[in-house]
């Protein structure tokens, strides 16, 4: 005859039964449930209100169009590399000075689009040495009261003995964030019917017209002037993103 301790040893503990039930639920039901939820709340693309190609540089108080091919440390990325055909790439020149900057805006709206590499990662693959990378705050009075200032990532980089400053940020479903992961969180939020995100990137070379502070100030000025135009005229309105 078996002893009490033997019977205790053989009887499955309640925690074990609970674990088995939960794992069976994961194995059999969880994935189909998640797939059904994903299908039900599937997001859709939303078009730009005005194509980026139609961006009017006359709207920028401090900059005008410069001839392409100015001396920037890194060549502008192609449509293929950026993975979108909604692209704005312009060379800018200060109206009251000789300072140059290059602006790249890439727009994505396919729900399957991945938020692209940030410049600090992908430019290194092209041979750029990142000397400094930090988060900066840029005053944007024209975006107030919602965004009186925005955060962006700024990096100092060197390639082929030319050095420059690059500032970038993301606009995701109307929110302005400095990092790729923050943009991913925003576009992953359930509820919105449509999804879009955009990477705004400004580069200025160091050396010909002042040091890195001057190049950084120029990048900040471009962001300060371009963002309000993009949000007011090009990117979809917030209210159009939600289910109705």
Partner 1 sequence: MTQQTQPDSEQAAYPALRFGVVLALWLWAFWPEVSRAAGYAASDSNWSHAWAAPVLAGALCIRRRVELHRSLTRGSWVGLLALLASVGVFASAIWPLGFGYLADVGAVMTLAAALWAVGGRRFFNRCSPVILIVLLSFPIGQRMYASLIIRPETYTMAASRAVLDTIPGVEVTLDGPDLHFVRGERTGTIALGASNRGAALLVTYAVVGVFVAFSRIRPLWALALMGLAAGPVVLAANLLRMLTWGVVTMYGSAGPVSPGPRIVASIVSLLLAWAVFLVIAGALDRLDSLRTAAQADAASSESERDDEE
Give residues in contact with partner 1 (CB under 8 A).
9-10, 12-16, 18-20, 22-27, 30-31, 34-35, 37-38, 41, 114, 117-118, 120-121, 124-130, 133, 159, 180, 184-185, 188-190
CB of 193 to partner 1, least distance (A): 13
* Cβ closest to partner 1, residue 54 vs residue 126: 126
Residues 183, 188: Cα–Cα separation, whole Å: 9
CB of 185 to partner 1, least distance (A): 8
Between 27 and 239, name the residue whose CB sits nearer to partner 1. Answer: 27
CB of 233 to partner 1, least distance (A): 30
Task: Work out how close the CB of 84 gets to partner 1 at its nearest, in angstroms, rounded to a whole number.
Answer: 17
Q: How far is the CB of 107 from partner 1 (least distance, A)?
A: 20
Q: Which is nearer to partner 1, 22 or 232 (CB)?
A: 22
Min separation Cβ 34 and partner 1, Å: 4
13 versus 69: smaller Cβ distance to partner 1: 13
Q: Is 36 or 64 the residue whose CB approaches partner 1 more closely?
A: 36
Among residues 185 and 240, whose Cβ is nearest to partner 1? 185
Task: Map the chain to HEC letters.
Answer: CCCHHHHHHHCCCHHHHHHHHHHHHHHHHHHHHHHHHHHHCCCEECCCCCCHHHCCHHHCCCEEECCCCCCCCCCCCCHHHHCCCCEEEEEEEECCCCCEEEEEEEEECCCCCCCCCCHHHHHHHCCCEEEEEEEEEEECHHHCCCCCEEEEEEEEEEECCEEEEEEEEEEECCEEECCHHHHHHHHHCCCECEECEEEEEEEEEEECCECHHHHHHHHHHHHHHHHHHHHHHHCCCHHHCECC
Q: How far is CA 67 from CA 50, 98, 102, 163, in A?
A: 24, 12, 11, 20
């Amino acid at each position: 005859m078996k002893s009490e301790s033997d019977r205790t040893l053989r009887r499955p503990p309640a925690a074990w039964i609970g674990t088995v039930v939960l794992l069976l639920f994961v194995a059999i039901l969880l994935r189909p449930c998640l797939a059904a939820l994903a299908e039900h709340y599937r997001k859709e693309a939303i078009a730009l209100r005005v194509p980026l190609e139609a961006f009017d540089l006359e709207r920028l108080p401090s900059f005008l169009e410069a001839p392409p091919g100015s001396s920037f440390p890194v060549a502008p990325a192609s449509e293929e590399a950026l993975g979108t055909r909604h692209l704005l790439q312009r060379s800018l020149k200060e109206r009251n000075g000789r300072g140059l900057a290059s602006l790249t805006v890439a727009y994505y709206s396919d729900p399957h689009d991945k938020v692209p590499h940030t410049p600090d990662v992908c430019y290194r693959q092209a041979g750029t040495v990142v000397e400094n990378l930090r988060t900066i705050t840029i005053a944007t009075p024209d975006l107030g009261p919602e965004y009186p200032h925005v955060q962006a990532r700024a990096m100092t980089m060197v390639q082929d003995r030319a050095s420059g400053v690059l500032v970038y940020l993301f606009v995701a479903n109307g929110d302005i964030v400095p990092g790729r992961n923050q943009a991913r969180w925003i576009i992953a939020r359930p509820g919105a019917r449509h999804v879009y995100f955009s990477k705004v990137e400004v580069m200025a070379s160091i050396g010909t017209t002042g040091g890195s502070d001057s190049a950084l100030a120029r990048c900040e000025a471009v962001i300060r002037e371009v963002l309000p135009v993009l949000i007011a005229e090009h990117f979809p309105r917030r209210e159009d993103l939600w289910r109705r």
